[in-house]
Amino acid sequence: MTPPHTPYTPEQDRALDRDCTTLSRHVLQQLQSFSADAQDLSAIMNRIALAGKLIARRLSQAGLVDDALGFTGTTNVQGEAVKKMDVYANDVFISVFKQSGLVCRLASEEMEHPYYIPENCPIGRHTLVYDPIDGSSNLDINLNLGSIFAIRRQEGTDENGQALDLLAPGRNQIAAGYILYGPSTMLVYSLGHGVHGFTLDPSLGEFILSHENIQTPDRGPVYSVNEGNFWQWSDGVRSYVRYVHKTEGYTARYSGALVGDFHRVLLQGGVFLYPGTQTKPKGKLRLLYEAAPLAFLAQQAGGRASDGTTDILDLTGTELHERTPLIIGSREDVNLVESFIQQAPNPQTTMELPPDSTRPTPAGQGA
């Protein structure tokens, strides 16, 4: 005789529903549609997740396998030394989208020009832009790093192969997110309907919903900035940092990996800054691959992102690898930094370096 079915308790139902909320299911729920476009976006997110799993596996073995650590001996389009893991991660993103029919182009911080996938172009009307490895200076010392991505809809025919439609403002992004490689691997994304976080369950091989509808506090205790550049900042930025030095309640946190520092601010509140310097007036971060995707997430979580005067999502680049200063995080904290910058006598001026500033930068130490 078959025993009667014992219904699950509400707590068991919620736990089971959480375990069944995979990334692909969540995308379709967000779009409230099973249309072809919704199915495509779900499939694109699945491919991004696959890239994250492959990169996470490689990182977990980085000290044990060949060609995972160290530099390649080449430089990228920005003149920066390329690490072997940068190349691997970039190739992973290309490989998972080949013959997928999902995206026609991929544009990466590591490639001078977009990578076209001709077999996808007749049907794939989306473009993936990404930074395959953010914070690669942390790799050789086993600290956290990440990947950043955004999805844009292709505008026009792009017959000249210049991908100039990607220079549109960040508000034109239809999705953005990042993958954080840390004690656990997390994927955080937004389709314009809030920000949601998924944690990789190694036993299932799936990203499972773990942080739904993330909201950044209006104000937070953390300020995250590389204070080694203090003497090269504008008067306004230095004034803000002096203010937090003498104001109770602030805590400095800076890891050298944008994804990790932004993730902290996203969850706990506060502000991350990478301002321009005397030698790099536009800063270090790329508008298309880093600043705009994270600004999209910040805005969806109730925060803000600015270059000091203009909302990042309103900026239009002049070339694919355009850089921009970045101030991102809690709305009130970003507003406060902007107020210091805009009240400075000359927001763009920088102080002369102090006399003892000629000491060399230690080998391998990033900005």
pLDDT in tens, 293-351: 999 999 999 999 999 999 999 999 899 999 999 999 999 999 999 999 998 776 555 54
pLDDT at site 1 = 54
pLDDT at site 362 = 39
Cα–Cα distance between 328 and 269 in angstroms, integer? 10
Cα–Cα distance between 89 and 85 in angstroms, integer? 6
**Who's near 68: CB < 8 A, 6+ residues apart?**
58, 59, 61, 62, 84, 85, 88
Q: What is the mean pLDDT of residues 167-196?
A: 95
Is residue 249 classed exposed, middle or buried when 0-12, 13-18 and 19+ CB atoms within 10 A define those classes?
A: exposed
Instruction: Return the exposure string of 317-351: e unless at least 16 CB atoms fall within 10 Å of the residue's CB, then b.
Output: beebbbbbbbbbbbbebbebbbebbeebeebeebe
Residue 201 has pLDDT above 90, yes or no: yes
State both tokens at 276.
């321009």
pLDDT at site 11 = 60
Residue 69 has pLDDT above 80, yes or no: no
**Who's near 55: CB < 8 A, 6+ residues apart?**
88, 89, 92, 132, 133, 147, 179, 181
Closest CA to 99 of 122, 76, 79: 122
pLDDT, tens only, 106-157:
999 999 999 999 888 877 789 999 999 998 777 777 788 999 999 999 887 7
Cα–Cα distance between 233 and 286 in angstroms, integer? 18
pLDDT, tens only, 319-328:
999 999 999 9
Cα–Cα distance between 315 and 168 in angstroms, integer? 8
Which pLDDT band holds residue 366 (cuts at 50, 70, 90)?
very low
Cα–Cα distance between 275 and 232 in angstroms, integer? 10
pLDDT at site 364 = 41
Residue 258 has pLDDT above 90, yes or no: yes
Cα–Cα distance between 49 and 92 in angstroms, integer? 11
**Who's near 35: CB < 8 A, 6+ residues apart?**
none
Domain residue spans of the chain: 22-211, 222-343
Residue 46 has pLDDT above 90, yes or no: yes
The phi and psi torsions of 91 (rounded to 5 degrees) equal -65, -35
pLDDT at site 18 = 61
pLDDT at site 135 = 82
Class of domain 222-343: alpha beta
Cα–Cα distance between 312 and 32 in angstroms, integer? 29
pLDDT, tens only, 207-252:
999 999 999 999 999 999 999 999 999 999 999 999 999 999 999 9
CATH architecture assignment, domain 22-211: 2-Layer Sandwich (3.30)
**Who's near 122: CB < 8 A, 6+ residues apart?**
none
Cα–Cα distance between 106 and 277 in angstroms, integer? 30
Cα 162 to Cα 139, 159, 318, 319: the distances in Å are: 32, 8, 12, 10
Cα–Cα distance between 18 and 20 in angstroms, integer? 5
Could you please report the per-residue DSSP string of 267-333?
Answer: HH-EEEEE---SS-TT-S-BIIIIIHHHHHHHHHTT-EEESSSSBGGG---SSTT-B--EEEE-HHH
Residue 357 has pLDDT above 60, yes or no: no
The alpha-helical segments, DSSP class H, found in the chain are 10-20, 23-31, 36-60, 84-97, 235-245, 258-268, 292-300, 331-343
